[in-house]
Chain A
Amino acid sequence: MTATTVTHDLVSVENVSLSFGSVRALRDVSLTLQPGEITALVGDNGAGKSTLVRCLSGIHRPDDGTVRFDGQPAHFSTPEDARNAGIETVHQNLALVEDLTVWQNLFLNREIVHGFGPLAILDKRAMKREAQRMVSTLAVNVPSVTSTVRRLSGGQRQAVSICRAAGFSSKLVIMDEPTAALGVQETERVEKLITKLREDGHAVLLISHNFAQVMRLADHVWVMRAGRCVAGRRIAQTTGEEIVALITGAQQS
């Protein structure tokens, strides 16, 4: 890292290890994420990227080591805990309900209601209005917030997922291969959306196999290999070739 230890890290992972039976998925991983930056996490398949991300989003709990989020030790036992703390995850498999509308998906399990308890009635108008605002602040081109997700293209769906992740005052948005299933144009649009998130002050953790994309978008990159975090580079001070060499192990950090 640079010498600016004064600014506190948004996320700091210290010596985190996690094993599944005899498989050591993570070994002494340490890395940090800065607020307001896009941080990329790269590595070969099975290097432990997804496992690490799941530790951050509350799906797994590390066996050893600490995760600090926003200065506080983070002990997330469910994804709900992580969400409440301000960590949103955009899942690889697009976690949207096709037969519900865009606004219903944006507010799924966070519905705005009138009244309390079992007699609470949905405030549809407020949710539609708010959904419209969320969609337009991110300049997402969705036909209408009242159309069902089934009618949207892959890119539009990904945009809605990202919009949902960004919408609820989240501090960190984790994206696992957000453009893997998209075409060229759609990828470009989603990339713009990711940059927009950074402009709006969200930190983004981006898992990607696309080095060109990492070089284009990220501010910092962490390289994982065989369960270890082997290197961290500022994007401005590295090249695609160096990252590839770090991933394959041709170059030791």
Chain B
Amino acid sequence: MKIPRLLQAILVLGGVYGGFVLVFDVILEQVIPSSLLNMYMFFVVAGTYMVFTFSEESTEQIVSPIKALVEDPSKKMLRNVVFVLLPLFFGWFTYQQIKPSFEAPLELRTIHPAPPAAVKVFGKRYNLLTLENPFRKFEKEDPEKFASLVREGGDVYVKNCQYCHGDKLDGQGPYAQGLSPVPLNFQDVGTIAQLQEGYLFWRIATGGPGLPKEATPWLSAMPVWEDFLTEDEIWKVILFLYDYTGYQPRSWEHE
């Protein structure tokens, strides 16, 4: 039996929605955020509409049962039922969307705010547009020295950073779950892999309080490391972050 066209469209939409939930929430165990799922479904609906209405025949098959429901005298009972249920459904849906809740409002937090052009730390002024890691050059010039600097950076990390950012640099340190927002996961391709070393220097040296207003609400618990580490220690730990994760800092020059 051929499935009516309108039902096909409804099944496609239901199938895609269920598919998203099944794949992400159940199989991959990484929930798909409702904000994203809504956006996805909006355009899945648009795509489905396009496929089912670009030809006259198909449009007719989609529209005719709806027209019949509204106009056909023999469908009076069904029409009455639908006309009662539909407003009730939308009423219920609207109520669900707007009813008061204790849930904190959603945040559009800027995790990587733009850095200032320059920053004052360690009693000096650094131009972040041109700032480079002074130890980076040893990667090629003196690999042994570089490896030793990375090790020193690792020591700094273990003593100071791993409690929050984790011993695998994945943001899963012992204290991580006590913080909101949780510490950054440096293994994620969207964090340090996208940034220049000067940016990391700024973020580490000035910590949460050094975030610009753009990044509000800045709930970051990141300490102001300028008060606890030396300039060299910060540069070394930056070397370690990139070395451990295997990423290269953002740069505009080819190797």
Chains A and B come from one and the same complex: no
Interface residues of B (CB under 8 A from A): none
Interface residues of A (CB under 8 A from B): none
